[in-house]
Structure 1
């Protein structure tokens, strides 16, 4: 879990908002075998969707974090998280996070 505090500002520019949506889409889709892109949708549809989004920018002044690694879940669920994070074919592949979850499992008498 991450908590961010800061000063918020409205960003009314359509170009700024479109760039943010495009960057977010790429960040989420690029690891997939056949990533979807904003440009795959009709321009009129994207324009209509952008009108329903309010752009915000936060100047971060403080960040606090806490690890949430399925520790409140049953052991089989934790093991599934570790397997998914360790799987190079999974779009959320993250060997370092997989190792941390596996370490937690080992500490609870599981591997």
Structure 2
């Protein structure tokens, strides 16, 4: 995560609506030490019709794989897949940088159905 944001740049609601952000539940998490930056490999359940997708997330500072299983978070599902080392990441798990630049997951505070779309 880098770069600056032009707060004066405006997008239309139609532009925002193109980004498909969905709720999902992490069903598997395992360390991915082979990645260039330490990461965790996630298998996440979006429910029907998307099913289970894979993601690589640079969240090792604040999270252990075992504590992630069962947790609901948000992900962008309509970016093209991205090769992360030998792992194909199918969705982008969302988070915010803390004071040190380490990722804190964007979270959902009440349980919602898997696959629910942000609007």
**Do they superpose with TM above 0.5?**
no
Greater fraction strand:
2
Q: TM-score, normalised by structure 1?
A: 0.25
What's the TM-score, normalizing by structure 2? Answer: 0.24
Structure with greater helix percent: 1
